[in-house]
Amino acid sequence: MNPTSATGAKPGLAHERTDSFLLGWDVGGAHLKAALLEPHGRLVRVVQLPCTLWTGMDQLHAAADALLATLPSAPMLHAITMTGEMADLFPDRHQGVRAIVGYLTERLQGSSSDRMQIYAGADGFIDAAMIEGHLDAIASANWIATAAWCARQIDRGILVDIGSTTTDLIPFADGRVIALGTSDAGRLDHGELAYLGVVRTPLMGMAETLPVAGRWRPAIKEYYASTADVFRLLDELDEACDVQASADNGPKSVQGSARRILRMIGQDLDPASNEAALALARWYRERLLQEIVATMHLRVSRGDVAKDAPLVGAGIGTFLIGELATRLQRRSIAIEELLCPKETDAQLRSWAAHCAPAVAVALLAHAAR
């Protein structure tokens, strides 16, 4: 499947009734995100719920129940995209797609006025009964939805979606996505995906050694802390986006984060070590930025991305976009400018940026009616 081609819809979607609400789903491995459009296409709600899918399908059941309980009693078109098939609950990605689509089909089929379409990237929107021929295209297609919508709004750019777990780096131009990778494996190879996020990345995976009191100390290879601790300690992480449990299931406080970070170097928290914890947090932040910048340099080194293509910042890590743009000598655009009218409530615009794939898949489905 080639995600660089224009992303359209299965012809049948064009005949979808236009008086129904539209709910865009982004089923992830750690969160369920959803965006609700009124029948004429106005965004009215964005929701993010914890959904630790790696622990069991009951997590998706609970999150879906909580989401659906908030919806209006009205005809509904559900547009589904996902990354949750990557969760290690499933033996492979195909089985994950089948399990997620199978559950949602069963859960949403109760009302004759509701319909469900699955987003399959360049293959468009398809019926749940047709997924067997499109499993690879459905798997982890949420980044294509976001980039495809961006490509409809501006002539060129690089989507930079910094989430809780990963960072997407997706170029687009001339109305189409020009990503080289068609899967997570391919995108890792081509510099279009960095497995770094601002909440769930374990610090033990970010460095072998750490700067401590003028020397390099080996980092302890234990899941003591995550990037949420870094950005929580630096007061950059939005509390509303901080919904995952900490590494030790302890308090998600400044003191708790400092304690967990210091465990990476075998130290305890005391009044004398507060500054050491802050210094390590700053160092891990810099490490994350450097790796994203290096990955971006790899991608643009192919020469097919215009030098004036702006970064389009999305995800809960948008607070880093300005600094990334400065380092990469590019201007930046907030993705909410491409997803929402300017008169949209400021909080709703912010959540649209945090949950961009859910909003994008809803908008694509609405445009395809």
HEC secondary structure over 58-74: HHHHHHHHHHHCCCCCC
Q: Is the pLDDT of residue 1 over 50?
A: no
Q: Could you tell me if 19 and 147 lie in one domain?
A: yes
Give me the pLDDT at residue 17, please: 57
The pTM for the full model equals 0.92
Q: Where residue 185 falls among pLDDT bands split at 50, 70, 90?
A: very high
Q: Where residue 9 falls among pLDDT bands split at 50, 70, 90?
A: very low
Percent of the chain having pLDDT more than 90? Answer: 91
Q: Could you tell me if 141 and 31 lie in one domain?
A: yes
Give me the pLDDT at residue 92, please: 97
43 within a domain of the structure (yes/no): yes
Q: Is the pLDDT of residue 190 over 70?
A: yes
Q: Could you tell me if 134 and 24 lie in one domain?
A: yes
- Domain count of the chain? 2
Q: Could you tell me if 18 and 108 lie in one domain?
A: yes
Q: Could you tell me if 16 and 128 lie in one domain?
A: yes
Query: Across the chain, what does the average pLDDT equal?
Result: 93
Q: Given 234, 255, 282, which residue is the final one in a domain?
A: 282
318 within a domain of the structure (yes/no): no
Higher pLDDT, 73 or 255: 255
Q: Could you tell me if 25 and 144 lie in one domain?
A: yes
Rounded to an integer, the average pLDDT of 202-212 is 97
Lookup result for tokens 């089985």: 95
Rounded to an integer, the average pLDDT of 240-267 is 96
Q: Could you tell me if 19 and 121 lie in one domain?
A: yes
Give, to the nearest 10 degrees, the angle between helix 356-367 and helix 142-153. 60
The rounded radius of gyration (Å) of the Cα atoms in the chain is 21
Give me the pLDDT at residue 112, please: 61
362 within a domain of the structure (yes/no): yes
CATH of the domain at 52: 3.30.420.40
Give me the pLDDT at residue 269, please: 95
Rounded to an integer, the average pLDDT of 36-63 is 96
325 within a domain of the structure (yes/no): no
355 within a domain of the structure (yes/no): yes
Q: Is the pLDDT of residue 354 over 60?
A: yes
What CA–CA distance (Å, rounded) separates 34 from 65?
Answer: 13
Rounded to an integer, the average pLDDT of 118-138 is 96
Rounded to an integer, the average pLDDT of 252-258 is 97
Give the domain range for residue 236. Answer: 214-282
174 within a domain of the structure (yes/no): no
Q: Could you tell me if 38 and 131 lie in one domain?
A: yes
Q: Is the pLDDT of residue 14 over 50?
A: no
Q: Could you tell me if 138 and 45 lie in one domain?
A: yes
Rounded to an integer, the average pLDDT of 364-368 is 96
169 within a domain of the structure (yes/no): no
Q: Could you tell me if 55 and 139 lie in one domain?
A: yes
What CA–CA distance (Å, rounded) separates 242 from 30?
Answer: 12
42 within a domain of the structure (yes/no): yes
Q: Given 250, 282, 314, which residue is the final one in a domain?
A: 282
Q: Could you tell me if 243 and 350 lie in one domain?
A: no
In terms of Cα–Cα distance, which of 117, 119, 114, 170 is closest to 143? 170
Q: Where residue 4 falls among pLDDT bands split at 50, 70, 90?
A: very low
Rounded to an integer, the average pLDDT of 182-192 is 95
pLDDT in tens, 55-111: 999 999 999 999 999 999 889 999 999 999 999 999 999 999 999 999 999 999 766
Rounded to an integer, the average pLDDT of 332-355 is 96
Q: Where residue 11 falls among pLDDT bands split at 50, 70, 90?
A: very low
